[in-house]
Structure 1
């Protein structure tokens, strides 16, 4: 085959196990043979609409098999897939479409008004509607697939060619388009396959958004590469996920800490059979010790991980064998990835010293789309990616994520890690969510402010919380003010929007 990229994966897997179930969605199943047929037809349909090598194919939807079908179909054409955050406003979507230069936007009917508004604002982008009756300005996704040719396409695609553009979460400034090549994706996907010993009988649950790398590159694609089954949920509901684990005998999944906390706090948690789970990856935010202990107590060894969109996402992984021994760390570098901790002076940190986490390897992005200056700034002279995160390596090489460099609070010359303070606050009875951020202070320059959310019928005062923390934290680390909120602002992956907290609550 001329195509050495990801577009050929479904055909290659289908040759080996054509009748194995590849995807489950809304109660229906697709075998690898059926998925191969749909991907081929979609590629031919896109080609008939003028999509070719290097063109961008965008997708806007809640979780749907089209994320995988469009990725593979784009790969067959040598085109570039652009998965977009389903929570974007019309203005944000218009920016992403213009920035990427998308030729086609595939979108759900539920997001039709946003898609229509966005495409009307900017460049001329063809629209394809996933479900329902398409409006007069769009084509129907299922109709296009049904009417397209099933002729094989074998266009030369190499590991150096761009595979997809994935926009960063955009917690600060304009989102940047991260370009991962087909080669980047191969090694990004192989990292969990190798390090987590994935098998061909995996049943992987995807409830986290497929427009981010964790669900797509770390769960769905590795499972398909191995020939397992991917169970796609349109969104996350703790009770439904618990029921699916038992009913479908789920073996593998991913969640951010807030998702795991919602599951362990659900009334069905205690009686749900979790015995099928082999690995459950948790990442994207610091993991509170109470979360890790809640799952360990039920026999589920969480695989804490760490990475970024720019690294596809894996950089560090804590495999199940070390989950208890190294509880709270993010593990060691993935098989195909190197990680170092660097001091402000550029020297490598010794065990126990804090420094910036820097990453190198064939899974690390090629560039930011159309941003050569920011691409250059993201790498050191010796081509290590600057994460902007702070970590500590222990004597055994296991790395703990401390915080974001930009989120560190400097109070009276002392560095305060918000993650450390948040972990202590979350031990207070009744507090279910917490974010600590810096606010200006005349005496100290900056002090901490804690924003918390509470369980039903719970209450807390500043004095109660601060007295609780006195025995747990040095005095300078204790926040000087408290906000009790109905909800802490987060982005689509569950990461806390501290920039938004500062906008709203820093005066």
Structure 2
């Protein structure tokens, strides 16, 4: 094959195990032979619509076979897949589509209204229109030449300047990430992977779907996470592998069905996307389950650290050690490695590190050094054995239920309210979501406002998960000599 990218993977797997089930969704199943044919038909149809090598193809929708097919079909064409976060508002999505330069978006039926508002030349709705498009496509493989270092997808992550930026991940980035995962997790050919975390996030896509396809296992796609449905599927489908953020695993363990549920089929549970509380780890270990955690980010495809099963009890609470094909250092502000037990910024180097931010060379240069080290902005400690514990964030990012929230983005919208003179958004602990936002607001002289006024101002302008759970009015914000808001002081006072 001339295609050396992920777009060739359905075909490569189909020639080995065509009869195996690749995908399950809503009571239906598709074999690898069927997935291969549908991907080829979609790639052909997209080419007929004018999509060419290097063009961006966006997808807006919940977990669905069409998302998987679009991802691989874009790769088969040498195009670039742009998954869109379904929790974002129309203005937020419009910015991303324009920034990526996507001319076509495939929309799930539940997002028809938002999809209609996006500034693209062509929209295809999942359902009759999508199936008609496939029916008109040629089932013969395109075999477009695609190199491993070419862009595979652009995944948008919020920026500290208040505007999201697209991390460009190559086919090689995602392939090496898969190798890293397979070194640490013993995925098998008979894997039954339950995917209830959204595939528009890198962990669900790169840590569950892609490795399962490589091994020839079956991926069960759920449109969203539902505790009872997940437990039911684990029991009835004999699920072996599942990824979730800590909040998802917390909800499962709090279910009335938890103590009696048959979880015997589970081989590995992967947890990430936010700091994992040690009591949660112990809860799963007490059930005899292999509960694994790691650390990464979109820019590293995502795996950087991983705590392997054999050390998951002894080193519980750490994020593990660097993945096999990745290198991780903890450094001080001068870039010098810190000693064990001393806090340092996590920096990552390896073939899984992104090629850069889409059309943002200056921003790329601020986080990726000339010799390829990605600066995460996260602080960690390493013990004497080299096991790394994430302890804080240099950046002010809030992680709520596995979703990244950047205060600058929220603050920029708050400043649009006429009564707001100054504001700062911080993360505060929350039993349910890990962290939630809290807004500290200084009102303009002579003006009044209630918390619900400001929350109403944010509604519709930001995704609901980005909106602070509480607004507090203060007389002034603490600042340093340079005029920068001291968020550490605010977290101490209000966190």
TM-score per shorter chain, which class? 0.7 to 0.9
Q: 1:128 aligns with which of 114, 124, 127?
A: 124
Instruction: Give the conservation status (yes or no) of the 8 Å contact 1:177–1:369.
Output: yes
CA distance in 2 between partners of 1:91 and 1:449 (Å): 24
**Any gaps of 5 or more consecutive residues in structure 1?**
134-139, 409-417, 423-434, 438-445, 456-488
Instruction: Give the conservation status (yes or no) of the 8 Å contact 1:305–1:330.
Output: yes
Cα displacement (A) at 1:232: 0.5
Instruction: Give the conservation status (yes or no) of the 8 Å contact 2:87–2:464.
Output: no
Q: TM-score, normalised by structure 1?
A: 0.80
Which residue number corresponds to residue 262 of structure 1?
251
Which residue number corresponds to residue 28 of structure 1?
28
SS of 1:339 mapped into structure 2: strand
Which residue number corresponds to residue 49 of structure 1?
49
Q: TM-score, normalised by structure 2?
A: 0.82
Which residue number corresponds to residue 463 of structure 1?
none
Instruction: Give the conservation status (yes or no) of the 8 Å contact 2:4–2:145.
Output: yes
Instruction: Give the conservation status (yes or no) of the 8 Å contact 2:93–2:118.
Output: yes
CA distance in 2 between partners of 1:178 and 1:378 (Å): 12
SS of 2:42 mapped into structure 1: helix
Q: How does 1:44-443 map to 2 (within 5 A)?
A: 44-119=44-119, 124-131=120-127, 140-169=129-158, 173-407=162-396
**Any gaps of 5 or more consecutive residues in structure 2?**
408-423, 434-457, 475-495
SS of 2:70 mapped into structure 1: helix
CA distance in 2 between partners of 1:306 and 1:59 (Å): 26
Q: 1:278 to 1:172 in 2, by over 3 A?
A: farther
CA distance in 2 between partners of 1:172 and 1:328 (Å): 32
Question: Between Structure 1 and Structure 2, how many residues are aligned?
Answer: 425
Which residue number corresponds to residue 472 of structure 1?
none
CA RMSD of aligned residues (A): 2.5
CA distance in 1 between partners of 2:427 and 2:295 (Å): 26
Cα displacement (A) at 1:406: 2.4
Are 1:17 and 2:17 an aligned pair?
yes
Instruction: Give the conservation status (yes or no) of the 8 Å contact 2:381–2:389.
Output: yes
Which residue number corresponds to residue 428 of structure 1?
none
SS of 1:234 mapped into structure 2: coil
SS of 1:347 mapped into structure 2: coil
SS of 2:287 mapped into structure 1: coil
Name which structure has the greater RCO, CA cutoff 8 Å, separation 6+. 2
Cα displacement (A) at 1:344: 1.9
**1:386-419 alpha-carbon deviations (Å, 9 max, x no partner):** 00111111111110111211249xxxxxxxxx99
Q: 1:141 to 1:237 in 2, by over 3 A?
A: same
Q: 1:193 to 1:405 in 2, by over 3 A?
A: same
Cα displacement (A) at 1:216: 0.3
CA distance in 2 between partners of 1:330 and 1:454 (Å): 21
**1:82-129 alpha-carbon deviations (Å, 9 max, x no partner):** 01101121111111110000021000121111111123xxxx421000
